[in-house]
Amino acid sequence: MSIADQSLGGSIWIEGTPNLTGGTLQSGGPGLITNGGGAVFTNSGTMDNDADSNFVLDDFAKLINNWILHQRRVFNPSSRSGGIVDQKGGTLVNSGTFNQGGEGGFANLTGAKIINSGRINMFVSLL
């Protein structure tokens, strides 16, 4: 993981396999989280993408949510991104724009939930 500009509002590029177990990953604005290179991002804590930040699920990357993902601005996958899996016990809270498209699928498994007051868009491909 590399962090550009470590002050509030920096960007995080993930090319490995981050696992958030407990704790909180806060993307403060304006910020950007990019998960790519085939990496699997597993969230078992609280991930907060605030109203001034963006999350990009890049080529061949996958997002697994086991706990709470707060999505307040924009979530975008690339056209070759992997899937998004909201596991049993996972909660996706969306008040921004959550886009899903490309090669990966979206799975909200039994025991998981979605709380939506924003927009969820399903596309064949975004790019």
- CB 79, CB 127: distance < 8 Å: yes
Inform me whether the pLDDT recorded for 126 exceeds 90.
no
How high is the pLDDT of residue 30? 59
**Structure confidence by residue, pLDDT tens digits, 73-89:** 899 888 888 889 999 99
C-beta of residue 100 within 8 angstroms of C-beta of residue 84: yes
In this prediction, what percent of the chain has a pLDDT beyond 70? 71
- Cα separation, 87 vs 64, in Å, equals 7
Other beta carbons less than 10 A from residue 54's beta carbon? 19
* DSSP state, residue 29: S
Identify the residue with better confidence: 57 or 10: 57
Instruction: Give the other-Cβ count within 10 Å of 40's Cβ.
Output: 18
What is the spatial distance between Cα 127 and Cα 7, in angstroms, rounded to a whole number? 31
Q: Is residue 22 very low, low, confident or very high in pLDDT (cuts 50, 70, 90)? A: low
* Residues belonging to the chain: 127
